């Protein structure tokens, strides 16, 4: 497995992975509520993913193995992790942890001293175990049950 910058030609596969991850792995957040799922997925289109790939103020990274995308993550130059999704077929292999490290490194390379993110309920324990701390009142993005603002000082 290797992590690299996403290319425009990755947009369709990356979009499919993100949508599948939300649908299959984030039920604790959307509760299989069709309206909530629709709101969450609304901007997860190949066109938007292509736009995210070429954003000048952020980096979209993909974890790949044997030509298949296993995870998708995005970090702003300010250090905010904007996306971190893993394929349901690749869970519990350390791919998300490796991707987060790559996102943190990219943020640090761009001058960020801290990493921030908004975690889902699904990923909350994962981020806490990786040194992130909750730093605010829970939000309700897309109507989801909760979102947890978190930060981590980048060494």
CATH of the domain at 25: 3.40.630.30
pLDDT in tens, 54-79: 999 999 999 999 999 999 999 999 99
- Give DSSP secondary structure letters for 39-90: HHHTT-SHHHHHHHHT-TTEEEEEEEETTEEEEEEEEETTSEEEEEEE-GGG
- pTM of the complete model: 0.91
Query: What is the number of structural domains in the chain?
Result: 1
Phi first, then psi, for residue 130 (nearest 5°) are -100, 10
139: domain range?
Answer: 2-153
Task: Over range 34-62, report the average pLDDT.
Answer: 93
């Amino acid at each position: 497995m290797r992590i690299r910058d996403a290319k425009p030609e990755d947009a369709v596969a990356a979009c499919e992975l993100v949508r599948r991850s939300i649908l299959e792995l984030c039920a604790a957040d959307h509760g299989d509520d069709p309206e909530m799922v629709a709101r969450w997925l609304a901007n997860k289109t190949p066109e938007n993913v292509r736009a995210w790939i070429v954003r000048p103020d952020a980096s979209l990274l993909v974890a790949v193995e044997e030509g298949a995308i296993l995870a998708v993550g995005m970090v702003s130059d300010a250090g905010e992790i904007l996306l971190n999704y893993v394929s349901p077929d690749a869970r519990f292999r350390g791919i998300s942890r490796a991707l987060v490290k790559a996102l943190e490194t990219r943020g640090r390379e761009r001058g960020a001293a801290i990493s921030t993110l908004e975690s889902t309920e699904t990923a909350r324990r994962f981020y806490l175990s990786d040194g992130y701390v909750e730093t605010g009142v829970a939000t309700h993005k897309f109507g989801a049950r909760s979102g947890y603002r978190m930060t981590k000082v980048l060494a």
